[in-house]
Structure 1
């Protein structure tokens, strides 16, 4: 009997003793309060300029009136979206946006990678820092300044490029008024301005590669090319994939300031993009609801591209955003 009672007592589950949950989250705030404090300005920026304005998306489904406000404006459903798809000018603008963005992606995305690989091979630190300073500098110049430089350099009468063409017997070219040259100038100037700044992340990733891996490769007889193919690029692949996914999120943002500064009526057919179209139609013609619908359409396309690219990266076994 004693044995049976002891066995029954052993089989009974023990009553869990309530444990005091440690406030790990609050400990984290207390321990890293300085980091959270530094994060506040960036967080405030996204809340004020990115999330709060999203409340205005509702006017895409209204016949918005500035006098009646959002609450007093009439709801029209998907009328503005139907008008958008029936507008022949919108298709031309959408085509220009895709083409310019595709050119910038194909030619501009590899640029920082190539530059970082070249800078990483420079062993003279003074020379390397001088080159880095020169290639970083254009990023800090506004498009207004760069636009003025391009207008002066490419001027058909006084520009240095056309003067050089005249010296070899060629006719001057109005580059910024030529439909054949305008997109090339857009892509080339964007690469020149941002390639140095984009290389910073890749240089940081390159610095994290263990030098012993290269030493082992040299012992095995690997030259620079084989080291690049089998060590450097695979080590950068995670960073490349993440930045490529993020780049697809802004694939329809081709740069309003750049195009607005450089384009003119002569090149509207090849230079007018969604951002300039929204500005011209929404601000100057006060079609707020219609242009909000256009902007919402652009945001949905960007979101789909990010999700698709992220899923593709996960299936390929690469790093992803989530």
Structure 2
């Protein structure tokens, strides 16, 4: 166990979930020792493991929270998810999800759940012209360079190789462009290799894992999210908070359509269509949110969401104490 100086909480280190038995054993010991009244699990289908341990430890309030779904291209992972989903409603006493789409996928149609939106510090992402100039300068981008941006783990789900293909088509029309990929993951080598195969490695920059994504959004001209599945697609919310036009796949839920600058394109339409969509999105009005756009984003304000979640916890805690 170690304390978090940043947030004032505590971090308990246990075996990873891949070690199923040790993971559940240590979780149960932890729950019994700390005597928590509420356990809120955010690991989607894997919550079957953590909440099973919580139930054995007699934790009265057990919340399963769905943040994602499943899609093509991950047969082994999807098979495991399918098995675990059968246990999704067995151990929780309450259910939560970031969208209706994510709730239906994990808990089934008609299941009772609470909508708990993923939230951010909206003000931190607000467009800032001076920050954009500074960030683009650090990246070596001229004023005329067209920057396509993406933030996400480099994995099959996020589909960066497809985005590289689309960007290759875009370069035929806008050779003064660059693709900025923020994040890291198992597909890093695959993504870099695809860029080399297409002869555009000098135009595709893998920026790695960053803790200043909020700044990098300022440097982008358009944001792309070609995921093969999403529970929400929080990065699209962040991008819109930065007044960026967004092009998302149709596998990204419509819940992210918070401004007039967000559009959805089917992956089946191919890289060429995506290249056109990215260029068309860049012709949107200059950076800045209208009052209606800002209103749509307010639902993802962390200040309001924290109060709502806290009130829910208090209600659940009071109910548990009375038992």
Q: Same fold (TM over 0.5)?
A: no
Which of the two has greater helix per residue?
1
Which of the two has greater strand per residue?
2
Select the structure of larger CA radius of gyration: 1
Higher relative contact order (CA 8 A, sep 6+): 1
Question: What is the TM-score normalised by the length of structure 2?
Answer: 0.20
Question: What is the TM-score normalised by the length of structure 1?
Answer: 0.20
